[in-house]
Structure 1
Amino acid sequence: MVAINSVSNYLSLLDEDQLELKSYSLEKLDSCVDEFWSEIASSSIDKIKSLSVNKQFPKHELASLVLSKVYYNLSDFPNSMEYALSAGSLFNVLSKSEYIETLLYKFIDEYIKLRTSTNKDTVINPHLESIVMGMFDRCFKEGSYKQALGIAIEARRLDIIEKAISQSGNVNSMLSYCLHICNVSVNNRHFRHSVLGILVNLHLAQEKPDYLSVVQCLIFLDNHIEVATILLSLIKKDEESLLLAYQIGFDLFQNSTQQFLLNVRNRLPPVEKKSTTTTTTTPASDSMEIDIDSGNEKSGGSSSFEQRLERLHSILIGDVSIGMNLEFLYRNCSTDMHILQSMKTTSELHKGAIFYSGTLFANALMHAGTTRDTFLRSNIEWLYKSTHWTKFSAISSLGVINKGHIKESKSLLKTYLPGASVNQTPYSESGSLYALGLIHASHGEEIIDYLVEKLHINNAILHHGASLGLGLAAMATGRDDLYEDLKSVLYNDDAVSGEAAGLAMGLVMLGSGAKKAIEEMLAYAHETQHEKTIRSLSMGLAFLMYGKEESADTLIEQMIGDKDPLIRYGGMYAIAFAYCGTGHNDALRKLLHVAVSDGTDSVRRAAVTCIGFVLSRQPEKCPKAIALLAESYNPHVRYGAAFALGIACAGTGQRDALEILKSLTTDSVGYVKQAAWISMAMVLIQTSKELVPEAETARKLFATCISDKREDSMSKFGAVLAFGVIDAGGRNSTIQLHSPSGHKNMNAIVGIAGFLQFWYWFPMTHFMGLALTPTSIIGLNKNLEMPVFTFKSNCRPSLFAYPPETKPSTTSSTNKIETAILSYSRKNKLQSSRSAMNIDQDVEKKEKEEKEAKEKEAKEKEEKEAAKAEEKEPLFERKSNPARIVPRQLQYVQFDDARYQPIKKSPAIGIVMLRDLTPNEPEQLVVKEKPETKQETVGNQSGTATATASLPNATTTTSPTLPEPSTPEPFEFTE
């Protein structure tokens, strides 16, 4: 065949009158348009257009197709798409050409844009609809069901979503994939709930439904009725279903709110309470053993329905989970006490309340949930120094240390609770009420009435602690009666009590979006003159918007447009709470705009910080979004950038984030370095030097900062808190804003947001205790006991091991002090020393060379020993129940025990129900570790019969106390 060099002869046929010749011309042009498009465009495009618009011309669709291809080659995609739509069926979506593939993606993007438009008058071209439907048909024919599902989710086509899943041939896999996509990619809350409803129906339609996944969807949908129905049906079936019901109960306690759990329990048949007596107090087991053992049958047979129901109630109440976590944290506590002692020494040297408080906060975080207060009992004399609000912080720190010890909370704090002693100060009493809230956070059914009673005592300082405690204990319950009690405290118009009441009102109504609460809190924020109250109400309004997404936009716009910067400050957190973890573009756009445009530093700082909340599910994006802000001229923006990285990248050990934070640790402003230290600890929590080499370097930097006399006090305070965060929970807890199943960790999100308010009020530091999650795998059998079982971790033990403890310095040699030499003595000795100078120099040179050679030899020897030790390290290890497992270690976990297999298919942190493969053989249970019951006597104060010390009271006459500083004498200033 002869190669064609021009299409001028075909183009000339377009001028003929005969329709057949024009049609023939278009057919030939269509076959070679990709090669001669420039010639067509330059001479005959208008002629082809006239044929395209002439509906009487039989080949007008072909003319449109030729025009579409010409415009495609001209990169004029809008015109190309327009004429492709006019081409009708000639635009074949089944074709694999580059032209078809490119325009298909353009059409899909346009279709998605129109489907997601907020304009109700938007009309979709029927030809566009047919092209997209043709694309879906093509995906189904080719078996590309995930591609079809992804497009359908973006285009919000519920019918195609259901069809793609049901026709895929692997329904369970597609259901899991769709649930993951919903949690990560779908920004519209209403549509996401619609998809989850479809997933629930498809799950339940299966022959063997995956009830674990069904319940996860129902938690998102807040459908407690269906959850209760599933649980009730499962506990009536065989033992396998019973274990599944228990596992669902543990997952519910881990992922749902206090109110949701209460609603589920209310839908289940009630359980008769049995009278029980306790003996000794333990940190992990007494209350738990009563609830668990009372349901065990002495005969060893299958448990009755009542016993099964009783155990399920104990799981949903949280007694089992809390007891097991306390047991795990107590027995595995690996806090480095040398670090705490060095902090205490620093606090004594500087004589400043900031270092004293910092050490208390760090100790509380290091021992959070472990019930170990060895450091406090060992330093009673040092604790006597606390006065006023420092005493408030010291006593409330017991709430962080004993977090979750709900059965014995009053016994632990009975020395300090209101009315316990006439010598008590309101600061210690208020601190004990705050501590009760920290112990019962999100689990306060047993303590709420007591806190309400103390809220009615007419004392502003007591109101502060009682309000904070009540807000934490009743978090997300949405109880109107508690809201009204707190509102009455707020209306006293006192700055001290109003600050706590505003926060507590938001905590109680967390995520409710109650219109009445919004109107009342916003109105009072505009009326009051107290800045503390306005700020707390703004944060309370932010708490109300938790998880509301687009439903919160009205309030957000109102808050960020307010003239009062304190309300705009709360508006930033309202965005963070409404869109936490969604990565929503509009939310990020608002935060970035405020970060560079607002005239108030605190608002800009909050805006940058809240970027971390929005990107918390996509930590890899945060360093890129923050990089330029971290170099801002404004130190408040740099401060916010540091915390944004800490929040979004918590526990990831991400290198990009660490590089930015390391540069901020050398900042010239003290509070910027403070944020950098704390955020670096948040990023590096539960990482080892083998996994992230920067982990060891960071610890050395913290220690250097604390001991450096030239370092700024605010920077030192940050380094002290950083040690508390990086070693939190006895090095067995981490910070996770989202669970592996995709649910928001409400306690962690609220905890970090509350912790950030320490900028204004130091006792808010204790909120960090809420953000800490124990990292363990705890296996339980059908009787809710811990059997002896092991599993395999297919990685080197050092990869996720505890960091080595620091060793106290053993060298006692003092630095030599140079003797001062007078000028006349130097002159007399100068000439006599010159003759010996050359000899001395030779000797010194020789000694230096020998020293360097020895150091080099020792270094090589150490490297060889390290390499040798590394060679001997095993490639895996066996873990015993209960086991410390870091989130990043889950991918290496393999359950290979010969007797027990978990109900869950994939490993997950938390409590795992175990299926006994040999139920007729006797079981060996894990022996629980219990601390010794101690009785402390300090001065004239007797400690409680628990494992905690009695902290001193400032008014105790027989205890050593520091005298209050006297008022200086009057004087006159003269220049």
Structure 2
Amino acid sequence: MVGLTSAGGIIALLDEPEEELKVYALKKLNNLVDQFWAEIADAISKIEILYEDEEFSQRELSALVASKVYYHLGEFEDSLTFALGAGTLFDASSKSEYVETIISKCIDRYINLRVESYENPTSGIEIDPRLEEVVERMFQRCYDDGEFKQAIGIALESRRLDIIEQTISKGNAPELMSYVLDVCMTLVHSLDFRNRVLSLLVKVYENLEEPDYVSISQCFVHLNDPISAAKLLQDLVSKGDDDYLLMAYQIAFDLEENATQEFLQKVVSQLPPAAAVSTPSATEKQDAMETDEAEEQKTPQRDPNEEKYTRIRSILSGEESIKLHLEFLYRNNHTDLLILKNTKNVLESRNSVYHSAVTFSNAFMHAGTTSDEFLRQNLEWLSRATNWSKFSATAALGVIHKGHLSQGLALLAPYLPQEGVSASSYSEGGSLFALGLIHANHGAGVLEYLRNALSSTQTEVLQHGACLGLGAAGTATGNDDIYEELKAVLYSDSAVAGEAAGLAMGLVMLGTASSKAIGEMLQYAHDTQHEKIIRGLAIGIALIMYGKEEAADALVEQLSRDKDPILRYGGIYTVALAYCGTGNNKAIRRLLHVAVSDVNDDVRRAAVTALGFLLFRTPKQVPRIVQLLSESYNPNVRYGATLALGISCAGTGLTEAIELLEPMTKDPVDYVRQGAFISLAMILIQQNDAINPKVSAIRKLYEKIINDKHEDAMAKFGAVLGQGIIDAGGRNVTISLQSRSGHSNMPAIVGMAVFTQFWYWFPLTHFLSLSFTPTAIIGLNKELKIPKFEFISNAKPSLFAYPATTKPPATNVVEKVATAVLSTTAKAKARAKKSEKEKGHEIPDAMETDEKKDDTKKDEEKVTSTYSLKQITSSYDLLENMARVLPGQLQYISFKEDSRYIPVKKGIVGGILMMKDQRPDEPEELIAPSAPAANEPAEEEEAPPPEPFEYPFDD
């Protein structure tokens, strides 16, 4: 390389002061550069000739040299090609920048080829064995360095199941398997490959020394394999050991929390029948006849495990968990009624928007608590509801009594349609909707009743309520009979009834991807002239494709090209529900493109809102993605940005999201402010000032907006709704679109998707109650009873305490003027007191009594302040069974070493837990249920009898 050696002297001339020398040097350098690159090109061609010469013994060395030359020239693909030819001379264990770059290029090329080969098995793609060898050496390097998670990441991307299994066996198996499950559910976008990984995990979990039954059951839910789930339950029950039985119950509770009604029904159908009969064999019959015991043999022999299976069926039906959550919400209800009272008093009740807003807020605050105290206290206000406001007010009872399955019909009896009695159709329709909300996602007990109510009326308001009730109660049942009945209502072409029917059809067929249903609904959407019906069908179609990911792409493409903007709107919700929680890049790009390009504002708003559904597993990404959209000139796009933040960051208290939303509470457009108020409440639900200092400011902001006479009705509606959401469920529930175990929370996602349609139809606001998840630790023994025990929260009690209640306005007390006491009066009192002392009867002086009262009061204040100080300074808290435990608090929960009860689940635990009794011989102390069996209106308490008194009769 002559150019390199002779360049040094010429470069030195650039430092000379004379301009002529600098020009000379530059001309020489220009010539040298041309010469240098010519020499490099000549060297490369000679190296390549050597490499192609089969007889040359140093071919690998020439390939390595060529690779490095191309690398320095920035030709990385050519550099990679020659690096592969260098064989063992290419040292993959080296830490140089050259080696790291080439290996990353190797892995990228390998992954691309493997994915293409996996997706197109008939393409005949062959992978260079030398490329495979480099990647294999890379895997070995990961093992040597202990970088097992890195190896798993590459294996997942390159579709190498064998490497995943091999890596798990070399490292900490439980930790790595948990990592694979998490990454598989969040980053693997191919549904088919994800299912293969889950099947592999099931096999590995089963082969562990202590099989992880909880994780195995999670995999079965993801794989939609109810038969294997049922077999797992049967295997655990048949082992006959209490520990295995507790695990079976725990898995049943987890399945009920995470699976669809259809899945659970299939599991139940695979369990032994309720009354298993043991048929005697021929020999046994003969023996019985010989011993004259034929009568005894006729009696069916009970399966010894029948009672256990009965309990499992009860758990899978949702009966047990709903009963426990109802008990928890009833016991711990911390609703601040003063907030509701103040809001009601400020807003004009004759305005239906304000009346509905307070109705929804009350329903959310008392969701699941069974407390209708506010309604009973304000019957006159409630009676002002008319038409659809009355429908919503009656439906609110379904939210308040959500989960009161055994008493649902009895509670609503005064409002339900009755033959021969004509009441308000709005009240009756609302009660049918309420019945569905009470039995939401657990409708076995009322589906028949609602079907009869639907078929026996032609009143469109009643049909509307019955359809919404059927949709809520029959969610994901895939029941064809109900679908056909709803279709008959749809074909009647009534705008009000048809809208609800279209939506309910989607709810019933949720996640089935039924081509028949989609074809019929899409066809009718094109045929009808009613916008309401088209809108109901558009959302219904989206619901049918729930969780189907790439299987929904063809339908999305078809809907996105439709000339009807309402169907394009449905296409956006199809993307949101099909890819919910996946963070799929292709889906996000589609949504962002529509958000800035569609000619219809509704479609653009929906596209931005849908980002929240896709990204709820990674909430920290959302503020960055929607930041520019939140500053859009289009108010619909800004509104969509508020909801996207609220949906994805719900319950997180994420500072970045709040900082984006706060300026939007001052937006010039009323409905953008509304969206900001609602989303702030979703994000700050169950937060207090210790966790997030913004809470008090936001609560005061709601109050200020509601009290401002000049504020727009839509913004006030959002503020009132925000008050209800932030204190939902008596301050004992959160909003989360994923369950504690990391599954997508299907009822919550569906409830949130339908809730966002309140933009067009206020009664759909009630669907948000499906997204409320009680935050508790509820421990059960093997009899499914609630034992008393304590556990530790290793955090300051103030950190996770309930927010302070609103204080009533201070009243000005008129102080009494001190009475003048004459000296003669004082002397007379002193003489009387002296004579009483002598007799042994001391009359306490009024002044002394007051002083004693003051002392008592001071003592009480001292005790209270000491307790408060203890609450603040204590670094831990002792909690009892059925205590409120926030999601962020779970990591601080532990059980005492000598605790009688410990959970059968390992790791961070929450929700309903089966507890192992470590001292079974000792008597148990149980918590008695306190929730009302039937929430009948409380009788008016009689006034207490008057205190004894003497009437001063006139002489």
Task: Answer yes or no: is 1:90 the counterpart of 2:89.
Answer: yes
Q: How does 1:774-813 map to 2 (within 5 A)?
A: 774-810=774-810
- Distance of 1:100 and 1:458 partners within structure 2: 76
Q: How does 1:217-256 map to 2 (within 5 A)?
A: 217-236=219-238, 237-256=240-259
Match of 2:215 among 194, 213, 216: 213
Q: Give 1:421 deviation, angstroms.
A: 6.5
Task: Answer yes or no: is 1:889 the counterpart of 2:889.
Answer: yes
Q: How does 1:75-224 map to 2 (within 5 A)?
A: 75-117=74-116, 118=119, 120=123, 122-168=125-171, 170-224=172-226
Q: Secondary structure at the match of 1:49?
A: helix
- Distance of 1:200 and 1:514 partners within structure 2: 29
Q: Give 1:907 deviation, angstroms.
A: 3.0
| Contact 1:732–1:884 (8 Å) recurs in 2 | yes
Q: How does 1:647-662 map to 2 (within 5 A)?
A: 647-662=647-662
- Distance of 2:903 and 2:304 partners within structure 1: 23
| Contact 1:685–1:734 (8 Å) recurs in 2 | yes
Equivalent in the alignment of 2:925: 924
Identity %: 52
Equivalent in the alignment of 1:50: 49
- Distance of 1:935 and 1:797 partners within structure 2: 36
Q: How does 1:5-16 map to 2 (within 5 A)?
A: none
- Distance of 2:542 and 2:812 partners within structure 1: 55
Q: Secondary structure at the match of 2:347?
A: helix
| Contact 1:686–1:731 (8 Å) recurs in 2 | yes
Q: Give 1:452 deviation, angstroms.
A: 0.8
Q: Give 1:142 deviation, angstroms.
A: 4.0
Q: Secondary structure at the match of 1:583?
A: coil
Q: How does 1:12-27 map to 2 (within 5 A)?
A: none
Q: Give 1:183 deviation, angstroms.
A: 1.4
Question: Who wins on radius of gyration, i.e. which is larger?
Answer: 2
- Distance of 1:564 and 1:901 partners within structure 2: 58
Q: Which amino acid aligns with 1:751?
A: G
Q: How does 1:529-678 map to 2 (within 5 A)?
A: 529-678=529-678
Q: Secondary structure at the match of 2:559?
A: helix
| Contact 1:934–1:946 (8 Å) recurs in 2 | no
Instruction: Pick which of 202-211 and 442-451 moved more.
Output: 202-211
Q: Secondary structure at the match of 1:778?
A: strand
Q: Give 1:696 deviation, angstroms.
A: 1.2
- Distance of 1:468 and 1:514 partners within structure 2: 20
Q: Give 1:82 deviation, angstroms.
A: 2.0
Q: How does 1:801-950 map to 2 (within 5 A)?
A: 801-810=801-810, 869=869, 873-896=873-896, 898-931=899-932, 936=937
Q: Give 1:125 deviation, angstroms.
A: 2.6
| Contact 2:798–2:871 (8 Å) recurs in 1 | no
Q: Give 1:752 deviation, angstroms.
A: 0.6
Equivalent in the alignment of 1:835: none
| Contact 1:61–1:90 (8 Å) recurs in 2 | yes
- Distance of 1:543 and 1:267 partners within structure 2: 28
Deviations 1:752-792 (A, max 9, x none): 11111100000000001100000000000111111111110
Q: Which amino acid aligns with 1:705?
A: I
Equivalent in the alignment of 2:847: none
- Distance of 1:522 and 1:719 partners within structure 2: 37
> What is the root-mean-square deviation of aligned Cα atoms in Å?
2.4
| Contact 2:797–2:872 (8 Å) recurs in 1 | no
| Contact 2:796–2:872 (8 Å) recurs in 1 | no
Q: Give 1:426 deviation, angstroms.
A: 1.4
- Distance of 2:484 and 2:932 partners within structure 1: 42
Equivalent in the alignment of 1:968: none
Deviations 1:690-713 (A, max 9, x none): 111111111111111111112111
Equivalent in the alignment of 2:271: 268
Q: Give 1:121 deviation, angstroms.
A: 5.3
Task: State the TM-score, normalized to the length of structure 1.
Answer: 0.82
Equivalent in the alignment of 2:364: 365
Q: Secondary structure at the match of 2:653?
A: coil
- Distance of 2:431 and 2:628 partners within structure 1: 44
Unaligned runs of 5+ in 1: 10-36, 274-302, 814-864, 937-942, 948-975
Task: Answer yes or no: is 1:61 the counterpart of 2:67.
Answer: no
Q: Give 1:317 deviation, angstroms.
A: 1.3
Equivalent in the alignment of 1:257: 260
- Distance of 1:7 and 1:125 partners within structure 2: 37
Equivalent in the alignment of 1:392: 391
Q: Which amino acid aligns with 2:785?
A: E
| Contact 2:796–2:871 (8 Å) recurs in 1 | no
Q: Give 1:934 deviation, angstroms.
A: 7.0
Q: Secondary structure at the match of 1:777?
A: strand
- Distance of 2:870 and 2:719 partners within structure 1: 32
Deviations 1:605-653 (A, max 9, x none): 0000000000010000000000000000000000000000000100000
Q: Give 1:161 deviation, angstroms.
A: 1.3
- Distance of 1:928 and 1:563 partners within structure 2: 57
Unaligned runs of 5+ in 2: 7-35, 277-302, 814-864, 942-955
Q: Secondary structure at the match of 1:740?
A: coil
- Distance of 2:250 and 2:500 partners within structure 1: 37
Deviations 1:370-408 (A, max 9, x none): 000000000001111111111110100000000011111
- Distance of 2:806 and 2:142 partners within structure 1: 60
| Contact 1:935–1:946 (8 Å) recurs in 2 | no
| Contact 1:412–1:946 (8 Å) recurs in 2 | no
- Distance of 2:934 and 2:533 partners within structure 1: 43
Deviations 1:668-709 (A, max 9, x none): 000000000000000001111111111111111111111111
Q: Secondary structure at the match of 2:924?
A: coil
Equivalent in the alignment of 1:504: 504
- Distance of 1:384 and 1:94 partners within structure 2: 79
Describe the shift of the 1:190–1:932 C-alpha distance in structure 2 as closer, same or farther (beyond 3 A): closer
- Distance of 2:395 and 2:768 partners within structure 1: 13
Q: Secondary structure at the match of 1:791?
A: strand
| Contact 1:415–1:421 (8 Å) recurs in 2 | no
Describe the shift of the 1:674–1:420 C-alpha distance in structure 2 as closer, same or farther (beyond 3 A): farther
Q: Give 1:304 deviation, angstroms.
A: 4.3
Q: Which amino acid aligns with 1:903?
A: V
Q: How does 1:27-38 map to 2 (within 5 A)?
A: none
Task: State the TM-score, normalized to the length of structure 2.
Answer: 0.84
Q: Which amino acid aligns with 1:905?
A: K
Q: Which amino acid aligns with 2:163?
A: I
Q: Give 1:916 deviation, angstroms.
A: 0.5
- Distance of 1:8 and 1:800 partners within structure 2: 73
Deviations 1:335-374 (A, max 9, x none): 11011001211223x6311010000000000000000000
Task: Answer yes or no: is 1:326 the counterpart of 2:326.
Answer: yes
Deviations 1:241-272 (A, max 9, x none): 01001101110111111111111111001224
Q: Secondary structure at the match of 1:94?
A: coil
- Distance of 2:145 and 2:794 partners within structure 1: 38
| Contact 2:67–2:80 (8 Å) recurs in 1 | yes
Q: Give 1:147 deviation, angstroms.
A: 2.0
Q: Secondary structure at the match of 1:116?
A: helix
Q: Secondary structure at the match of 1:443?
A: coil
Describe the shift of the 1:393–1:812 C-alpha distance in structure 2 as closer, same or farther (beyond 3 A): farther
Describe the shift of the 1:903–1:38 C-alpha distance in structure 2 as closer, same or farther (beyond 3 A): farther
Q: Which amino acid aligns with 2:317?
A: I
- Distance of 2:755 and 2:190 partners within structure 1: 29
- Distance of 2:936 and 2:639 partners within structure 1: 45
Q: Give 1:141 deviation, angstroms.
A: 4.0
Q: Secondary structure at the match of 2:809?
A: coil
Equivalent in the alignment of 1:722: 722
Describe the shift of the 1:413–1:421 C-alpha distance in structure 2 as closer, same or farther (beyond 3 A): farther
Q: Which amino acid aligns with 1:510?
A: L
Deviations 1:877-903 (A, max 9, x none): 001011100001111111226211111
Equivalent in the alignment of 2:527: 527
| Contact 2:411–2:935 (8 Å) recurs in 1 | no
Describe the shift of the 1:870–1:654 C-alpha distance in structure 2 as closer, same or farther (beyond 3 A): farther
| Contact 2:776–2:885 (8 Å) recurs in 1 | yes
